Amino acid sequence: MRLPVSILRPALCLAALSVPAIRSMSQGCIVARQCAPLFSSDQTPYLTPLHWKLDLSLRVLDAARHYNGTVEQTIRQTNHTNVVNRQRILDLGGTYGVNNQLSLAVNVPVLIYGRWSLPLPVTAAGTRYEMNGEGLGDISVSAKYWLLPTKKNPTQNVSLGVGVQAPTGNPHKRSAFPDLNGNNPNVLRPVDQSIQPGLGAWAFPVDGQAFKSFKKVTLFASATYLITPTNINGTPSILSDLYNNVIPAGKGYEKYNSVPDQYLARIGASAPIGKKKWGLTGELAWRLEGVPAKDLIGNSDGFRRPGYAVFIEPGITWTRGRDSWSINVPVTIVRDRVKDSHGNPGDATFADQFELISYSHRY
């Protein structure tokens, strides 16, 4: 019987893009970097006690289309004044089966490539400059517990997980970049929040997963929420820095980068493709990624690009023995750059799609 495999990814694999927007929530300039838990393969989702599962995943995202609310700002691309945001995030994970019900996981994200570019001055004739960010992200440790006895429930279960994410990533990465007038191009400035390797604060991921198999079809659902009690991280925002620290009227609260909550949810189904010996499993899911305007705990000041994106996510997994390879391609169907915690609108870049490539091995 084919059962889903849960490739659990911690609190948000980095992904965000756009100009005045933030790390990756609505992917692009928004700050929601999450590599969602993936369900699909010939392997059981349960780990053998005292054994390990190692995961490696790559998230590839390019964003260049601006949205204010749900309205696309097509003039930006027409005039070539749009932001182009590119991110490549590698996620390394290890999960250890303590017993039949409990497992512990550690996840190490690495922003291997981040580029945020904008023509300055912001006109069609402006020279396009770019800032770059890369480095170790925020490492997380988490625990997951299956609520139903795993031995008695091989085809259905529900799990809950909690964890802690340490501020191991650099939230103050700088790159040479001019001001909004295109002057002083060699001044080192903090890079856009979407390509900062770290949040600069402790955070707490919580997640839930569920699956149920009906003959060859497996239904699954998963959700992750990153709780960030810290308000701001002390890094000057791109809005502040490009204006040479002269904040526009009514925007004083955006002088420094916010430390925003992030969330992700997936619901879908998987089923085998072709003969069992092929080891192929297909998957189709509905996916939601976002950054809320207001955090669950604490204040919500600072510069952030709140919003969300909804995707249709097809995927395929190939399993051979203890190894699984998978690729998922979420295609964006809804984009919404919502107003911030002070009720002010803004824009952010969104990607048409992105790619998640993963490998898993059980020891």
pLDDT for the residue numbered 201: 97
**pLDDT band at residue 250 using 50, 70 and 90 as cut-offs:** confident
pLDDT for the residue numbered 30: 58
In a domain, 24, yes or no: yes
Residue in the block written with tokens 């392997």:
43
Q: Which of 286, 283, 285 is nearest to 2 (CA)?
A: 283
pLDDT for the residue numbered 178: 93
Q: What is the pLDDT of residues 95-124, one digit of tens each?
A: 999 999 999 999 999 999 999 999 999 887
Given a contact cutoff of 8 angstroms between Cβ atoms, the answer to whether 285 and 209 are in contact is: no
Written as one letter, the residue type at 192 is D
In three-state form (DSSP H/G/I as H, E/B as E, the rest C), the secondary structure along the chain is CCCCCEECCCCCCCCCCCCCCCCCCCCECCCCCCCCCEECCCCCCCCCCCCEEEEEEEEEEEECEEEEECEECHHHHHCCCCCEEEEEEEEEEEEEECCCCEEEEEEEEEEEEEEEEEEECCCCCCEEEEEEEEEECCCEEEEEEECCCCCCCCCEEEEEEEEEECCCCCCCCEEECCCCCCCCCCCEEECCHHHCCCCCCCEEEEEEEEEEEECCEEEEEEEEEEECCCCEEEEECHHHHHCCCCCCCCCHHHCEEECCCEEEEEEEEEEEECCHHHCEEEEEEEEEEEECCCCCCCCCCCECCCEEEEEEEEEEEEEECCEEEEEECCEEEEEEECCCCCCCCCCEEECCEEEEEEEEEEC
Q: Which tokens belong to 165?
A: 């994410």
Q: What is the mean pLDDT of residues 54-76?
A: 95
In a domain, 1, yes or no: no
Least confident of 5-9, 128-132, 150-154: 5-9
More confident residue, 37 or 249: 249
pLDDT for the residue numbered 276: 84
| Cis peptide bond upstream of 121, omega within 30 | yes
Q: What is the pLDDT of residues 134-158, one digit of tens each?
A: 999 999 999 999 999 999 999 999 9
In a domain, 336, yes or no: no
Q: What is the mean pLDDT of residues 208-214?
A: 94
Residue in the block written with tokens 């979407």:
194
pLDDT for the residue numbered 4: 35
Q: What is the pLDDT of residues 296-315, one digit of tens each?
A: 999 999 999 999 999 999 99
pLDDT for the residue numbered 249: 76
What's the rounded Cα separation, in Å, for the pair 35 and 57?
8
Q: What is the pLDDT of residues 179-209, one digit of tens each?
A: 988 998 999 999 999 999 999 999 999 999 9
In a domain, 313, yes or no: no
Q: What is the mean pLDDT of residues 6-28?
A: 32
Q: Which of 310, 289, 349 is nearest to 73 (CA)?
A: 349
Could you count the other beta carbons within 10 Å of the beta carbon of residue 99?
11
pLDDT at 248 exceeding the cut of 80: no
Count of domains observed in the chain? 1
Instruction: Give the percent of the chain with pLDDT over 70.
Output: 88
Instruction: Give the percent of the chain with pLDDT over 90.
Output: 77
pLDDT at 32 exceeding the cut of 90: no
What's the rounded Cα separation, in Å, for the pair 191 and 201?
17
In a domain, 288, yes or no: no
In a domain, 17, yes or no: yes
Q: What is the mean pLDDT of residues 42-68?
A: 91
**pLDDT band at residue 90 using 50, 70 and 90 as cut-offs:** very high
Given a contact cutoff of 8 angstroms between Cβ atoms, the answer to whether 23 and 31 are in contact is: yes
**pLDDT band at residue 125 using 50, 70 and 90 as cut-offs:** confident
In a domain, 96, yes or no: yes
User: Which domain, by its residues, includes 87?
Assistant: 6-281+293-304+318-325+341-354
pLDDT for the residue numbered 28: 62
In a domain, 250, yes or no: yes
